[in-house]
Chains A and B, each alone.
Chain A
Amino acid sequence: MPSTSTKKSVLQYVGLALFAIALLIFTFMLSLDNYQFNAEDLVANLAKDDAPEVGQMHQEALRNAAEKYGLFEETYTTTFSAQKALKQVFYQASADVDATLAETGIPEGKEKWEVELPKWQFKSQLTGWMQNAASGPVSNNPLLFFFLTIGLAALGGLLYIIPKFQTQPGIKHNHIYHSQLTKGLDLGWRSFFLAATTLGILVYGFYYMDDKWIWPAATGLVAAIIIGLVLFAQHSFGRDVRDAGPEGLSSYLGIFAGLYFMGFYVLLYWASQHVVGWVAMVSPISEGIYQAVSGNDSGGEASQWFLYGLMYTTIMIVMGVRMISKYRHNKYQVIRTISVMFFQLSFAFMIPEVLLALNKGWYGDKATLPYQDLKSIWPLDYDFFFDWSIKGFVDNPGSLGVFIICWGIFLVIVGVPLMVHLVGKRWYCSWVCGCGGLAETMGDPWRQLSDKSVRAWKFERIIVNGVLVFATLMTAATIYSFLPNNDYWFTRSTFLIVFTVLLLIGIGFTVFSYLKSKMEISRLGISLAVGVGVAIIALNLWTFTMGSETYLFGNTGAVQKWYGFLIGAGFAGVVGTGFYPLMGNRVWCRFGCPLAAYLGLVQRFQSRFRITTNGGQCISCGNCSTYCEMGIDVRAYAMKGQDIVRSSCVGCGVCAAVCPRGVLRLENGSADIGDRAVAERNIHIEDMSVEDNWTERPLAISEEGGISIF
């Protein structure tokens, strides 16, 4: 019978079934354990070394409140009911402490905040309490559940993937747009899911920021400005775009996958008290690694971040095998995939775990080695310059911490621009980076769903560069706030000077390239870039002359917290991965990653990397554009015989791989890059009037984004 799915062997169906079973167990195991609290664990972390009597008062209040509500007698069957009971107890205890303080008065020489029992304590203690209270099948047999979930899923995945090596090598795209998992959504439904998710994150952000509405409100305002800019200032409103989504919600498996990913990230980042079962299940592995490396007999319990790292790595390896099977005719793809798998397994996962295990003690004791992914670069690694991070590095007795600081700064200022100049940003984005690695492996089935419209491109440019500006300002505020005013060689003034000089170099390069290049560079873009640069320099001068205590943001802690919530967790995680099946596998890399924006600026203005097109061979089939995960309309260039120099291109090489006529090639070479990236090269007639149009910088570009117009 005719079929709109690929042919699968029995083994592959078995693999799919095992994967489905594993997913079911993984989901429902969270409801298997019971939770029973005892007084000892409940109050353990409330002791205060510096003020024992305050700690005792808190412990006393909490214990009394727990007894009052019968917390210790009850067995809770879900994390939700347990959380509810704990909350009631804690809030009662907090109120009791307040009442006691009102009665006895605040002790001599103390501030109120030092002696009260604050509500934020509840959030930070919750997951620990839940972990200690859990008992039942998962807690009793963690390894069994590990094998039944992650183990079984990996096995099922491999059973499904390995037989693919027996098929003939070549492009494997049959039925991607027939599959309910990979066909995607139309513009309307995509917009709906995006708007709903964004609103959800902003509303939750209000709660997350302890009811400070200013942060979500400011973010909403910025979003409105961006939408206004794209739709009205850049004339996207009312333009008929090429939208080709399927009917309604026929991509139901994709939607389910997306919602599942989003749910996973929400629990991981913001509600880890509900996933203590998952964490318990991987804890023996974490302890095994820790104890084997450190030689200790105990310690090394997993946190949710270990769970995340382990799953991330497992998924990347299994799906990396899939990527290799799919593109095994293409050596570039094979080597590149092995590279991201290697960097994830070693640099992102194992090396930091080993560094941590080599510390003298577990949490609490002063670390001798920092937990750091050496390939993670600011501003993607946005907390690299946070005060606690820098202190962690500097306070190390050994020299490794200082090395890591120097290495991090070297990468940002020298390593990144130099490598991008030589080979393009691909060296990082599709060869090394963990986010890119997940996109290229787990995300590959959805790479075709990126929006290729010029409108999407306009959003992309403003948002991704906007995040870069936000990350820069947040980091500058952070560094400024913890630097001393004097008594050290590197002071706030020195920092402002260095920062300003770096900005001036950047602006200089940009303006120079703009004037020199014949390439189409948006006038609006260049004005915005220089404008923002100049504004920051003005801010630096103002801060410098006023000798201000803070840089731009009054409260550095709050801006760090909001950045971590909105960009670090919401954008990179919930939307970045959750939207793989809805908007393609590079949503974060394309629209959100500040490092990608930085790499992209260098790639656009100062790189030898480009995608060359092969003469007049393009047949406009659109495979290159369709399978571009970054939403670049590759065909628009290829059919004009134009070399492609785009800031967003991560150099995955799939456009060149899927081209049926051998038109595209990723190349490094500086010769004639400005000439070959000009407008139309696919020309046969000698005619000066057309020639003239080439040298003239097209004015329509700021409006048109350099695409599709003559």
Chain B
Amino acid sequence: MHVAIIGNGIAGVTAARYLRKLDSAVRITIISAETDFFFSRTALMYVYMGHQRMEDLMPYEPYFWEKNRIDLKRAYVERVLTGEKKLQLGDGTTMAYDKLILATGSTWNKFGWPGEDLERVRGMVSAQDLEYLEDHTDKIQQAVVVGGGLIGIELAEMLHSRQIPVKLLVREDSYWSNALPPEESRMVSRHIKSHHIDLRHNTELDEIIDDGSGAAGSIRTKDGETIEAQFVGLTAGVHPNINFLRDAEGLELGKGIKVNTYLQTSVPDVYAIGDCAELREPRKDRRAIEAIWYTGQMMGETVAYNVLGRKAEYDPGVWFNSAKFIDIEYQVYGEVPAHGRDGLSSLYWEHRDGEKAVRINYEASTGQIRGFNLMGIRYRHEVCEKWILDGKHVEEVLQELGMANFDPEFYEQYEHAVVALYNQQTGKNLTLKKKRGLNAALRYLGFGKKASRAFVKAE
């Protein structure tokens, strides 16, 4: 059997690894037009900032692929001929497949702004985007980044590292406020400003103005302000990269490629995973398209089973994500809605330096723990996940909270302050019983007795 995988990002590569792990006979080909080898997309910024070289982003040494008999093909797939089970490649050749996995990722949004197709107007998603920015950096005196999401702040930080003055335009009145609760969102806004990035709240792009050479020279905001910018970063979200599939026979597309819980598309033997897949029936509280690293990885693992005929439902488990906003690390586990939810209580503790915070969400009625939001403090994924899955009572969790702390040794532990805040707010008299430490956490996780996988299963 020949499995072709389009896309060598985390989803496609994880699929290939698990296919090989589960079956030593299957023939695997990964096709990519972007790069020869898999690299960590989320780390592109570090190459521009001089922290790493492009090759350092490659998790596997080049011989890995040959050793594990995963064929790599550098080509652009122009069309998928679902009827004939063939791919039409950019070099005019075709490639036959028995099963196909679409893992084509996403690309940055344009919203029809005038001037959005000018030179030096670009997003930051692919290796080519990075190359483009590097090639044009010497012409940039000032830059504007449009969009207050995860990529926007990274692009602003990148440009800032090259000592280019950056303005970051955010439509809302604080950074990433459609994902972060207000306190955390304001914290990040403060942090951005303290790093000398000119953050403009409530500011929207109206048009990008040609400098006379077909490239960006300035922008105008909806308030009519003109800002000089030889580079305009478009980071207002991403969308599935599926244009080349528009004429694929029988393939149902929405915003992304429609898939069922087995990650099958509407065409037999064709699967879709990662950023480009749109779930027909997402689980409760989850979105149909989740363009993040971790879900791409989980889908890659899951699809390998299904391709090999071993039915496995896609179960993304307890929601988690992480990011770094310049120097503030962020981790989220479970349910932390930006605007709250009826019946959901939230205990929010913030350090006096304004750069660390712990938010604990729980059901107001039953006290069951629902989610954690961490700013500038690291918590153990497995412990938080198990607390959420077990539906532990918030007071039990608080008394054992130290167990979750994952900060480096000698770091101050703030769990007692979180407990004290809870006591103050509720009039209770809880005490912190567990401090940071590995053995207690492992005992709670019950390792040794069962498989020690990194993801906890509900009991």
Contacts and interface: CB of A to CB of B under 8 A. Distances in A.
Interface string B44-78: 00100111111111111111101110000000000
Interface in B288-341: 293-294, 297-298, 301-302, 305, 310, 312, 315, 317, 320, 322-324, 326-327, 329, 331
Interface in B1-48: 10, 17, 20-22, 40, 42-43, 46
Chain A contact surface mostly: loop
A615 B49 contact: no
Contacts of B452: 672, 675-676, 678, 681
Contacts of B382: 614-615
A684 B298 contact: yes
A332 B409 contact: yes
B99 interface: no
B439 interface: yes
A622 B40 contact: yes
B380 interface: yes
A653 B408 contact: yes
A212 interface: no
A690 B43 contact: no
Interface string A572-596: 0000000000000000000000000
A454 B62 CA distance: 12
A614 B406 CA distance: 8
B50 A174 contact: yes
Given A3-B163, A623-B43, A681-B452, A708 B64 contact: yes
B162 A2 contact: yes
A3 B408 contact: no
Interface residues of A, number: 79
A111 to B, nearest CB: 62
Contacts of A18: none
A667 B385 CA distance: 20
A615 B408 contact: no
Contacts of B63: 239-241
Contact of B49 (A2, A174, A639): A174
Interface string A299-343: 000000000000000000000000000000111100100000000
B50 A175 contact: yes
B69 to A, nearest CB: 12
Contacts of A623: 43, 46, 51-52
Interface stretch (B171-179, B252-260, B365-373, B441-449): B441-449
Contact of A244 (B54, B60, B164, B454): B54
Contacts of B60: 242, 708
Contacts, number: 227
B409 A177 contact: no
A88 to B, nearest CB: 54
Interface string A620-657: 11110110000000011001010000000000010011
B381 interface: yes
Given A621-B57, A686-B457, A687-B305, A614 B378 contact: yes
B327 A666 contact: no
Contact of A662 (B51, B322, B454): B322
A678 B454 CA distance: 11
Interface string B346-387: 000000000000000000000000000000001111100100
A173 B57 contact: no
A568 B457 CA distance: 54
Contact of A676 (B164, B329, B447): B447
A660 B46 CA distance: 11
A211 interface: no
A442 B281 CA distance: 57
Interface in B265-297: 293-294, 297
Interface string B128-139: 000000000110
A242 B310 CA distance: 35
A7 to B, nearest CB: 6
Given A668-B438, A690-B22, A329 B406 contact: no
A194 to B, nearest CB: 20
B195 interface: yes
Given A2-B137, A332-B408, A614-B406, A168 B327 contact: yes
Contacts of A678: 452
A622 B52 contact: yes
A291 interface: no
Contact of A617 (B302, B322, B407, B448): B322
A292 B8 CA distance: 70
A170 interface: yes
A641 B453 contact: yes
Nearest to A616: B454
Contacts of B381: 614-617
B436 to A, nearest CB: 9
B411 interface: yes
Contacts of B453: 641, 681-684
B140 interface: yes
A403 B164 CA distance: 62
A661 interface: yes
Contact of A671 (B52, B329, B409, B438): B438
B254 to A, nearest CB: 25
A709 B297 CA distance: 17
Contacts of A675: 447-448, 452
Given A619-B42, A672-B447, A684-B317, A665 B408 contact: yes
Interface string A161-179: 0000000111101111111
A665 B61 CA distance: 25
A683 B301 contact: yes
Contacts of B68: 709-710
A178 B51 CA distance: 9
A3 B160 CA distance: 10
B55 A243 contact: yes
B378 A662 contact: yes
Nearest to A333: B408
A263 interface: no
A672 B442 contact: yes
A620 B326 contact: no
A662 B20 contact: no
A636 B61 CA distance: 10
Contacts of A177: 50-53
Contacts of A671: 438-439, 442-443, 447-448
B426 interface: no
For the complex of A and B, list the 8 residue pairs with the smallest distance between their C-beta atoms, beginning with the closest. A615-B381, A244-B55, A641-B454, A170-B327, A662-B378, A621-B43, A669-B438, A240-B62
Interface of A: 1-4, 7, 168-171, 173-179, 239-244, 246, 329-332, 335, 453-454, 612-617, 619-623, 625-626, 635-636, 639, 641, 653, 656-657, 660-662, 665-672, 675-676, 678, 681-687, 689-691, 693-694, 708-710
Given A332-B408, A617-B320, A694-B451, 16 more contacts: A3-B163, A170-B327, A177-B50, A240-B62, A240-B63, A241-B61, A242-B56, A246-B53, A615-B320, A621-B46, A635-B59, A660-B324, A661-B329, A666-B409, A684-B298, A710-B20
17 contacts: A175-B49, A329-B327, A615-B381, A616-B381, A617-B294, A617-B320, A620-B59, A623-B51, A641-B453, A666-B408, A669-B437, A671-B439, A678-B452, A682-B297, A685-B302, A708-B60, A710-B17
